[in-house]
Amino acid sequence: MYRALLERYPYAHCELDFDNPLQLLVATVLSAQTTDVMVNKVTPTLFAKYPTAADLAGADREEMEAMLKPTGFFRAKTSSVMRLAADLVERFDGEVPPRMKDLVTLPGVGRKTANVVLGNAFGIPGITVDTHFGRLVRRFGWTSEDDPVKVEEVVGKLIPRKEWTMLSHVVIFHGRRTCHAKRPACGACPIARWCPSYGIGETDPDKAAKLLKFELAPGAGGPPAAEAVQTGVEGAQPA
């Protein structure tokens, strides 16, 4: 199933824009209760004004709140970003630590956020169990667990560690584009033949195709060209 998803989404990637670990960490914190698209609209201005952890920690609260307002819960998010930045300055010389054990001690940072940062900013494999990932792996029958930590542990035994970050990307892409929470496009799904949940959504191929979103949506022009991806999953257990 992973190989089929990789063939469908060889271009899958972190959809938050960033240039360094600090930017990705902050963007991930800001992505709560909003979309990556919205976060990407506000972060260029935010990081141009406050490029370092020290700058973020010492920011003018009202100015930052105004910048973050489009993302929702902007007062709480401003507080979170400023506390997070202050902790980075105080404990890590303003740098984002490349270790899970350190990242999860930062204010507002759990394993999901830590794995996003480790996998995409540092190249350290990690499984990002967000709402899409958890929903899909339960639909796939890979696990019945609801707890994100347990989901991460179970799925990590199915797929080689070096694939964990890309696995996260393709599953999340699939959840956003095809396997929707309320009306999955089963008839347009590349893993329908193996999926035990096939049939919970629209099975008619033509009707299902109309449910696809983003680059797969009708009239969207299709997926971008992508270089071949080396999966290295030949020895993996069936998944």
Q: What residues are labeled active site?
A: 112, 130
The number of C-alpha atoms within 13 Å of 235 and in the hemisphere containing its C-beta is 4
List CB contacts of 55: < 8 A, sequence separation 6 or more. Answer: 49, 85
3-state secondary structure of 122: coil
Phi, psi values for residue 90, rounded to 5°: -70, -40
Q: Which is nearest to 57 in space by CA: 31, 92, 33?
A: 92
Q: Which is nearest to 116 in space by CA: 148, 74, 72, 158?
A: 148
Euclidean distance between CA atoms 207 and 223, whole angstroms:
20
Q: How many CB atoms lie within 10 A of CB 141?
A: 13
List CB contacts of 93: < 8 A, sequence separation 6 or more. Answer: none
Euclidean distance between CA atoms 124 and 194, whole angstroms:
30
Give the torsion through C-alpha atoms of 44, 46, 48, 52, to 10 deg. Answer: -120
